[in-house]
């Protein structure tokens, strides 16, 4: 496993009122959600980046109100007409 070190000012942790380990966990999750929401990575890769399984990552997406399923209105109308 590769480790990445990031230098951050001490003030960052006091302003978030979190220990560095929790801050890092949330930073991984935020990055994973951001890249997933932009369709840059798959859900599987996003969950791996966040350090979660897919079920927990889905719950995190729901908590952040990120749409998991995109519905194209034109495609939906075609599906409904063929049903």
Give me the residue spans of the domains in the chain: 10-82
Measured between alpha carbons, how far is 83 from 44 in angstroms, rounded to an integer? Answer: 31
Cα 58 to the center of its chain, rounded Å: 9
Q: What is the mean pLDDT of the chain?
A: 89
74: pLDDT confidence band, cut at 50, 70 and 90? Answer: confident
**Percent of all residues in the chain with a pLDDT value above 90, rounded to a whole number:** 53
């Amino acid at each position: 496993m590769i480790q990445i070190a990031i230098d951050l000012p001490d003030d960052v942790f006091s302003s978030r009122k979190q220990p560095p380990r929790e801050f890092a966990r949330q930073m991984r999750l935020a990055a994973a959600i951001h890249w997933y929401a932009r369709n840059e990575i798959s859900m599987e890769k996003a969950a791996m980046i966040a350090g979660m399984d897919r079920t927990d990552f889905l719950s995190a997406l729901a908590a952040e109100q990120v749409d998991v399923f995109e519905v194209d209105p034109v495609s939906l109308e075609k599906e409904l007409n063929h049903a």
